[in-house]
Structure 1
């Protein structure tokens, strides 16, 4: 598979993105799937599913979101509506005309959800995975858990605290801290091997990267206000929404109720024998769920 790495500049932000398959106008089927990663990862979390998706005839786009990987790390703009507009500018730059399928994982799910609310006519289908949506009752319920040992999202409180205490406490222990998430939130701790963890840690120890990553969490209050406002103004999403999550993760028990708050047409499917990192723990199952949801392969 030929992966193409490129850069795109827009409004002072440089986005690194990776593509596979025929771009629009090159004679392909002109169907696009956009893969948006979470924290603490980059486009690489989708490396195991990009080839089968490309083989199915998709134009696959996997950006590093603002603040991550090879993308620039501005001081602000980490609310998810701004990040959705980054994605919109990239797809316009690539010449994507037809409605797309979006797949967002972890905090990337919040970006794709924001995109679907801002540009609903440009989204054919939305696939979401492994994150609570700020502004929903489910989000408040999940984060209300305060017992450390029972709280899968304890780091939301830590990372979201104002000031730079989180950066200071993590500094010097980045590898151990970041890798602990890959191990503790997985059903198979070997799914993200040491060499892949080293890729991610190198990206998140680049100048400004840890600060930028934590800003994603600090923007949750703004995200909640934005999500509640747009839901009040526009109503629920109308396009089909698929939620997929690992059977060993927190997401599946809350997914249907949470998404029913914001979308009319919701399907929830499990990824068996997986924790949080579904595209690396069980890539074949993820691809199969995408095929079934989007109408098959090539």
Structure 2
């Protein structure tokens, strides 16, 4: 299923690229930004609960990913925040919205909140380490960091290695990062694999990684200048993945941080534990 009941899919030209977006519901805007290696479809299991609670939900495929057009540039998270701001304007929504992001989408959400705090009513970050606020430690394999960052950041190499082996690679990826109590179904993995298949799509996807050092420098400079997030923040992790580490890292830059650890979940919260995630997200939004 690619279009949820009550939702419309459209393609919008914004900030020099074409983005595919799913939107539906009525009420305050709530933007959901997906991570890697997924598309906006990752949010499908929780969309009914969000619209029933009274939100207009906006679900783009990020620059170069999913049904959005392939892209060669513009992957820094500051620029991608401008992608989504312009998309909202085209839809006649905003400028203020609740913003939630998972994984790489959380990095875009953080950039939006940092650059335009008056536009972000609340910020929900899920399952990531923020560039400049802990991601660099997560990238350091010499001290237990994840192996994939250095590979994906290297120009040309990962797309050369994975092209033609997408099924094997992404089967391994989802098995490694999903929780052991509720892994993703094979048809869900296949849907994302198809969205990333081929060298052009793979290259677009790795563009999100190849700006991470620049993203970290931008965030660190903002922190060093004495800035802080002013909106309410919810930090969510799976108990078999990030856990409460994200919340801990954010407390240095955000005075209003709520932490939620989702039981029985690995990295892919919305698909592994949709009911628990929706309940926690809606409880947070209801307080704003």
Aligned to 1:13: 17
CA shift at 1:206, angstroms?
4.9
Aligned to 2:276: 285
Aligned to 1:217: 209
- 1:228 aligned counterpart, secondary structure: helix
User: How do 1:167-182 and structure 2 match up within 5 A?
Assistant: 167-182=159-174
User: How do 1:208-287 and structure 2 match up within 5 A?
Assistant: 208-233=200-225, 235-249=227-241, 251-287=242-278
On the 8 A contact 1:35/1:102 being kept in 2, the answer is yes
Q: 2:113 aligned with 1:127, yes or no? A: no
Aligned to 1:57: 54
User: How do 1:53-92 and structure 2 match up within 5 A?
Assistant: 53-92=50-89
- 2:235 aligned counterpart, secondary structure: strand
Which structure 1 residue ranges, 4+ long, deviate > 6 Å from structure 2?
A: none
User: CA distance change for structure 1 residues 96 and 266 in 2, over 3 Å: closer, same or farther?
Assistant: same
CA shift at 1:253, angstroms?
4.3
Q: Give the Cα separation in 1 of the matches to 2:95 and 2:76.
A: 26
On the 8 A contact 1:48/1:280 being kept in 2, the answer is yes
TM-score of the superposed pair, with normalisation by structure 2 = 0.93
User: How do 1:139-218 and structure 2 match up within 5 A?
Assistant: 139-146=135-142, 151=145, 153-161=146-154, 163-188=155-180, 191-206=183-198, 208-218=200-210
Please say which of residues 275-284 and 251-260 is displaced more in the overlay.
251-260
Q: State the aligned residue count.
A: 284
Aligned to 1:4: 8
On the 8 A contact 2:64/2:201 being kept in 1, the answer is yes
Q: Give the Cα separation in 2 of the matches to 1:206 and 1:60.
A: 30
- 2:6 aligned counterpart, secondary structure: coil
On the 8 A contact 1:183/1:189 being kept in 2, the answer is no
TM-score of the superposed pair, with normalisation by structure 1 = 0.90
CA shift at 1:193, angstroms?
1.4
Deviations 1:211-249 (A, max 9, x none): 011111110011011112233346010101100110000
CA shift at 1:56, angstroms?
0.8
On the 8 A contact 1:188/1:281 being kept in 2, the answer is no
Aligned to 1:26: none
- 2:266 aligned counterpart, secondary structure: coil
Q: Which runs of 5+ in 2 are unaligned?
A: none
- 2:264 aligned counterpart, secondary structure: coil
User: CA distance change for structure 1 residues 187 and 197 in 2, over 3 Å: closer, same or farther?
Assistant: same
Q: Give the Cα separation in 2 of the matches to 1:94 and 1:206.
A: 31
- 2:18 aligned counterpart, secondary structure: strand
RMSD: 1.8
